[in-house]
Amino acid sequence: MAPISTRLVAVAVLSLWSCLTASAQSDTLVFKSGLSDYKLASHNNAPDIWVDSADFKGIRRAAGDLALDFGRVVGINGTVRLVDDSDIPSSPPSLIIAGAIGKSALIDDLVSAGKLKVSDIEGKWEAYTTAFVKSPLKGVPWALVVAGSDQRGTIFGLYDISEQIGVSPWYWWADVPPKRKINIWVQEKRKIQGSPSVKYRGFFINDEAPALTSWAEPRFKRTANGRPFTAEFYKLIFELCLRLRANYIWPAMWGSMFYVDSPENGPNADDYGVVIGTSHHEPMARAETEQQQKLEGPWDWIGNKKNITEFFREGAERAKDYDTLYTMGMRGAGDVESPTLTFESLEEILKVQQTILKDVMNVSDIGDVPQTWVLYKEVGRYYQAGMEVPDTVTLLWTDDNAGNLLRTPFINETDREAGAGVYYHFDYVGAPRSYKWINTIQLVKTWEQMHLAYEKGAREIWIANVGDLKPLEIPMTHFLDMAYDMSKHTTPDSTTEWIKRWAIREFGKPSIAEKTAQILNTYGKLIVRRKYELLSRQPFAYSVANYDEAERVIEEWSDLLDLAQGVYNGLPQETRTPFFEMVLHPVLAGKTVVELYIKTALNSWYYSQRRTSTDRLAKDVNDLFAQDAEITERYHSLEDGKWDPILNQTHIGYTFWNEPPANTMPNVSYHTTKNVPRSGIMGVSVQGSSKSSPGDPAPTLLPVDPYMPPSERRYLDIFTRDNGTFSYKITANTSYVTVSNSKGTLTAPGEKSDIRSRISVDWSRAPKGLSWVGLKVAAANGQATTAVLPVNKTSVPGKFHGYVESGGVVSIEAEHYADAEKKSGLSYTTVPHYGRTLSGVKLWPVTADSQTPSSAPKLTYSFHTFNSCNSARVMVFLGATLNHDPSRPLKYAFSIDGGDAVTVQPVPNTPMGSVPDGWEDAVIPGGWTSISTVKLSSGSHKLSLWLLEPGVIVQKLVIDVGGFKESSLGPLESYKI
Ligand SMILES: *[C@@H]1O[C@H](CO)[C@@H](O)[C@H](O)[C@H]1NC(C)=O
Ligand SMILES: *[C@@H]1O[C@H](CO)[C@@H](O)[C@H](O)[C@H]1NC(C)=O
Ligand SMILES: *[C@@H]1O[C@H](CO)[C@@H](O)[C@H](O)[C@H]1NC(C)=O
């Protein structure tokens, strides 16, 4: 035992040490004695926070939050004092001074006295510095000073202290417990935080019924309009927004009117310092419901110009005193395309809107009013048709509602005054299926697309649709953290690093960071393959017949659940709640739903094999359906029902794009004594076949060879087809093939009704070439069947290194190349955990120009085939990315054995505002599969691959020489020698 415990201690010390060094670099506060003499807070003291009484309201308010945060952490609230020059309070035991440069005399005096350096942030957007200052004022020995370049810069500086002392931005919305401290000291340091990477960063509360709406209804006193999204609701939202270092919100709009429902909403947002916008179809700071309720006449520019102009003006008049980012342009009534708008009329609308804004805001330069035009759906077509959009309007590009960017800025668009941005989805109502239930986001996919967007110059606005907000905490935080500081997200492994930092912040234990990253990365991989709502679609997502795909997918989910449950079990009670909400719940609930559908598919398969265990699977499906409801109840019972019923979104039994009214059990089959000819109690089936023998013809197993993928299995299943008991025995007609469970007794009903017999081959004794082995399965009652096993002893000649064909395919994960060139500053990078199986490989940097096979670096894959094939298929499994630069569609090229390079464009061209042909087939399984046909001789080969655009991401390559079988994820990775 001794060596084991010694090692454990060493590991613990190491992780503590790395945690301390990691935080010491950027943080101004420490929690251990001996590192600083300046105690800011302890269990019997919390600091005064002085704010100039003339400073921004938002700073005064956020200082109050920080004061309470000290109470949350040390047990004593801080005290906010509004100070004016004539009346400086007496010196408290410890002091924080906070304010905006140019607005706070407290700060400006420190600057002019040479005590505080602000030159590196002054005049910048939302920057701040936090500094230890000696003798800041007469009689005050020292203070921690937070100086912002503007209102929000200062607020972010205050919340940075909150976060450092242990209050998560999610302390309320995800129940992350504040991390208690005994003592808090200030280091003699200065922290400089420059402007955020993206100027306007925020989220859109959308598709908020039934979940968020029915949660809010009993909790917030309804507005005059009967709506639950009241001033009290939005105060919680504004605080969250700022604590997440975001600054911009599109408010809830399904039947709600932000400015009308609660007239305090507009002024409150402004007091907090949050910028309000409206969604893509709600121009001029007015909600869609206002278009229906407040506009005289139809929402149709051509037919109702005068009244709509007035409607626009009222919107601007109402919002003019608040920090507002105006959505411009127009769409049809009710979030759809307008039947009458043309690009000429849209140009006119923009002119009218700008004239109104200039007039109402009383500015000489319209560029001083933040405006955006969202090129969502059909709107992009007007732009492509040549519509002039003033330079002072930010072009807000969008994804395809499924996380794949439709467009990034062209180089000739990057010098537009108001720049460009992205509207991105983590939740969606629409085809192919709405996804509104729980988190279905692969974080590294978000990174890949948003990093690209950023590098291409979309830096003015990032806004994410977060649905009901609540189960999307993680993708939302990740997105906003990137937008705040892209310098921490420049490399493909930055997402994993981010998850670790995030896990430590929320759950406090450095020791779980690695595992949390593993959980979220694996979850991303499993969910990107198919969203829950799409699992009811036929044909079923995962193949029961081929590659044991369906069974393997359940196993992956089970392993993931074990991992997540293990971490949960090791956490103290108080962090279990947020861990459950954000990490364990999606894994548990997700696994339950996936297993429900897979067992439904297996139930139908077993039914055709006439197994009595069909009924057990039917029961499992029923149980899983019940468990799904219990898991929802478990979530709803957290924190004494704080979140009830926020997860009441239906999610099982979708039959078309929109949600079913209630979760619905899938149809399951039952093994009945009546209808099925059984041919006796014993049944034998082989992998990949829905038949069973005796009765059906004697089965032939899938072939075996020495180069089967390491994780591939070969087996036959023996089972009961009727109630009763029988004994069986399996005998091979040769000794180089052996089977597990070669004899036994099976009984139905009961758990011991089926058994799997795995096949092993002693290749040293098997004959060369193809031979046929008989595996006789005989029951004691005289029933018998003989399964035939093709044994194919191949051998690779010479000194070949690479992947070897088995069963007519070679399958290689993209990152397992034999060689990757570097050339003219270009190289390939692996994006860990990207896509559906292992990772993705892409050209780097993402700002690279279009390439040709002669200019691009080359990836080389080495493989060996035994079969020659005149129409071999080269199958390239790609990410779901789109032609985001229509002038540079995604392309790759390949060649075999140094032959001519074949260039392939995997995603068809498409007019802007539409999705390409085949889009659903790519979006549903989470990637494009691009197929080319080549002539291939048997032997060892080199496949060269060139990715010609940085938007192309390869996940996996399959060479099909005749053996490829239908499946979602493709064959298992081949054997490598
Ligand atoms: C801090 O102040 C708040 C608001 O007044 C109060 O609810 C809370 O109990 C106080 N906390 C402590 C630790 O005194
Ligand atoms: C515009 O509003 C007026 C009332 O102010 C109304 O009489 C008129 O019908 C409206 N115009 C249209 C085209 O609906
Ligand atoms: C901007 O660049 C794109 C892509 O290269 C091109 O299609 C478009 O015509 C250019 N626009 C102008 C105004 O030059």
**Distance from residue 299's CA to the centre of ligand 2 (Å):** 11
Ligand nearest to the CA of 308: 2
**Distance from residue 907's CA to the centre of ligand 3 (Å):** 21
Residue nearest to atom 6 of ligand 1 (CA): 68
Q: Which fold would CATH assign to domain 803-976?
A: Jelly Rolls (2.60.120)
304 lines ligand 2 (CB under 6 A): yes
What value does the mean pLDDT take over residues 672-696? Answer: 86
Could you tell me if 581 and 629 are in contact, meaning their C-beta atoms sit under 8 angstroms apart? Answer: no
pTM comes to 0.96
**Distance from residue 131's CA to the centre of ligand 1 (Å):** 27
Candidates 3.40.50.720, 3.20.20.520, 3.40.50.300, 3.30.43.10; correct CATH number of 200-491? 3.20.20.520
Residue nearest to atom 5 of ligand 2 (CA): 296
Residue nearest to atom 4 of ligand 1 (CA): 68
pLDDT of residue 307: 98
pLDDT digits (tens, 9 = 90+) for 565-617: 999 999 999 999 999 999 999 999 999 999 999 999 999 999 999 999 999 99
Closest CA to 474 of 497, 450, 503, 494: 503
**Distance from residue 320's CA to the centre of ligand 2 (Å):** 25
Cα distance between residue 416 and residue 732, in whole Å: 75
The tokens for 872 are 């071999």
DSSP state of 584: I
Query: Among 353-362, 515-524, 570-579, 908-917, which is the least confidently predicted range?
Result: 908-917
Ligand nearest to the CA of 297: 2
Please give the number of the atom of ligand 1 that sits closest to the Cα of 68. 1
**Distance from residue 234's CA to the centre of ligand 1 (Å):** 22
**Distance from residue 846's CA to the centre of ligand 2 (Å):** 52
Q: CB burial class (10 A; 0-12, 13-18, 19+) of residue 794?
A: middle
**Distance from residue 643's CA to the centre of ligand 1 (Å):** 23
Per-residue confidence band for 12, with pLDDT thresholds at 50, 70 and 90: very low
CA distance to 428, 482, 802, 950, 957, per residue, from 845 (Å): 31, 18, 28, 7, 22
The tokens for 433 are 């299926």
- Please state whether beta strands 461-465 and 420-425 pair in parallel, antiparallel, or not at all (unpaired): parallel
CATH class of 4-193: alpha beta
Ligand nearest to the CA of 41: 1
pLDDT over 70 (residue 5): no
Q: What is the mean pLDDT of the chain?
A: 94
64 lines ligand 1 (CB under 6 A): no
Cα distance between residue 165 and residue 177, in whole Å: 12
What value does the mean pLDDT take over residues 355-362? Answer: 98
Calculate what percentage of the chain has a pLDDT beyond 90. Answer: 90
Domain 676-793 has CATH 3.40.50.1370: no
Report the first-to-last Cα separation within the chain, whole angstroms: 39
Which of 70, 77, 165, 180 for a ligand 1 pocket mutation test, highest count of atoms within 8 Å of Cβ? Answer: 77
307 lines ligand 2 (CB under 6 A): yes
Residue nearest to atom 4 of ligand 3 (CA): 887
77 lines ligand 1 (CB under 6 A): yes
pLDDT over 90 (residue 257): yes
pLDDT digits (tens, 9 = 90+) for 89-136: 888 999 999 999 999 999 999 999 999 999 999 999 999 999 999 999
The full DSSP string for 335-371 is: SS--SS--HHHHHHHHHHHHHHHHHHHT-S-GGGS-E
855 in helix, strand or coil? coil
CATH class of 529-641: mainly alpha
Beta-sheet strand order (sheet of 724-732): 743-748, 724-732, 769-779, 784-793
Q: Which residues line ligand 3 (CB under 6 A)?
A: 410, 412, 887
Residue nearest to atom 11 of ligand 2 (CA): 297
Closest CA to 814 of 799, 793, 833: 833
What value does the mean pLDDT take over residues 894-914? Answer: 94
Please give the number of the atom of ligand 3 that sits closest to the Cα of 411. 2
The full DSSP string for 685-732 is: EETT----BTTSPPPBPPPB-TT--TT---EEEEEESSSEEEEEEEEE
Residue nearest to atom 9 of ligand 2 (CA): 297
pLDDT of residue 520: 98
Residue nearest to atom 14 of ligand 3 (CA): 412
Q: CB burial class (10 A; 0-12, 13-18, 19+) of residue 574?
A: middle
Ligand nearest to the CA of 299: 2
**Distance from residue 298's CA to the centre of ligand 2 (Å):** 9
**Distance from residue 73's CA to the centre of ligand 1 (Å):** 11
Cα distance between residue 857 and residue 68, in whole Å: 56
884 in helix, strand or coil? coil
pLDDT of residue 16: 36
**Distance from residue 682's CA to the centre of ligand 3 (Å):** 70
Largest CA distance in the chain: 106
71 lines ligand 1 (CB under 6 A): yes
pLDDT digits (tens, 9 = 90+) for 453-503: 999 999 999 999 999 999 999 999 999 999 999 999 999 999 999 999 999
845 lines ligand 2 (CB under 6 A): no
Could you tell me if 682 and 717 are in contact, meaning their C-beta atoms sit under 8 angstroms apart? Answer: no
Beta-sheet strand order (sheet of 190-193): 79-83, 48-52, 95-100, 140-148, 128-137, 190-193
**Distance from residue 412's CA to the centre of ligand 3 (Å):** 6
Cα distance between residue 326 and residue 800, in whole Å: 63
**Distance from residue 894's CA to the centre of ligand 2 (Å):** 63
Cα distance between residue 598 and residue 556, in whole Å: 13
Cα distance between residue 752 and residue 120, in whole Å: 73
11 or 162, higher pLDDT? 162
Where do the structural domains in the chain lie, given as residue ranges?
Answer: 4-193, 200-491, 529-641, 676-793, 803-976
Look at the alpha carbons of 127, 130, 135, 139 in this order and tell me if their dihedral is positive or negative.
positive
Closest CA to 69 of 145, 171, 154, 146: 171
